[in-house]
Amino acid sequence: MTIIDGKQTAAEIRADLKQKIQKLKSDGKSLPGLAAILVGENPASKVYVRSKERACEEVGIYSEVVKLPIETKETELIALIEKLNTDKKINGILVQLPLPEHINEEKIIQSISPEKDVDGFHPVSIGKMILGQETFLSCTPFGIMKLLEKYKIETSGKHIVVVGRSNIVGKPVANMLLQKKENANAIVTVCHSAADDITQYTKQADILIAAVGRANFITADMVKENVVIIDVGINRVEDATAKRGYKLVGDVDFEQVSKKASFITPVPGGVGPMTIAMLLYNTYTSYLWSGKKQN
């Protein structure tokens, strides 16, 4: 059984980006720029935004973090995004989700220019992704694709079962894996809560991607021998022995399922670190695309 090390893979991606951005700097060129918008005081969101800010600092991407009070009106947020859409220093815009209840997330995502949609959430990006056209890919599914490629895990003709149908992970990763391309070309089944017995699908999986948000949901009796496991879940469970009183676990019962798996991602340290790495990658790509457009 091989542990798929997302932490190491993400570090390699960041190191490569750092080298490329240092070359831009030494050549006297402008640097890629990322703007992050945080509305309110959600503790988890504050941690995520700070992590993204630190990652930008590490690789040399210019970053701006705009913190807005929870009372911010939807119209005010859209006005800010429209300003960033035309700011030449900024190649990527991300609005940290979730937003306060009085703000419509769909409206906000659609107000971001598709040319700066480095999260890959805009309907234009999603549409192009489904059609197999060049676009920004959603960061977590993109990270999964990179891990499969890095570990030379064959996907062509393999049965991949995705458990979960969210717009952020399940749907996009299923569509990426369906594409008639290298490192894709899979037969994909998407499972969700409407299935009477999910086990009849999960047991067929050559590769199982769990993105359901339920701790230890996938157990050893639900998978076959030599399955490849990609665990996207990050769940807090109480643990009196842990310093913080809790520990982080995935959607897969790692201890038992790892005994049957050929490859498996740990939690933490698997898919998680790849999400920010791909955000940086998308921002650098946006910078390159904007340069081509100007030329």
Is-catalytic flag, 16? no
In the residue annotation, 52 being an active-site residue is answered as: yes
Query: Which of 52, 56, 61, 58 has its CA nearest to residue 287?
Result: 61
Does residue 119 carry a catalytic annotation?
yes
The one catalytic residue in 5, 52, 117, 251 is: 52
Q: In what order do the strands lie in the sheet with 2-3?
A: 2-3, 261-264, 227-231, 207-210, 159-163, 187-191
Q: How far apart are CA 250 and CA 14, in angstroms?
A: 24
Catalytic residue of the set 5, 96, 146, 231: 96
HSE of 175 in the Cβ direction (CA atoms, 13 Å)? 20
Task: Please identify which of the residues 5, 117, 119, 253 carries the catalytic annotation.
Answer: 119
Name the amino acid, one letter, at 288. L
Q: Kindly provide the b/e burial profile for residues 184-214, where b requires at least 16 CB atoms within 10 angstroms of the residue's own CB.
A: bebebbbbeeeeeebeebbeebbbbbbbbee
Q: Token pair for residue 123?
A: 């309907």
Q: Please list the active-site residues.
A: 52, 96, 119
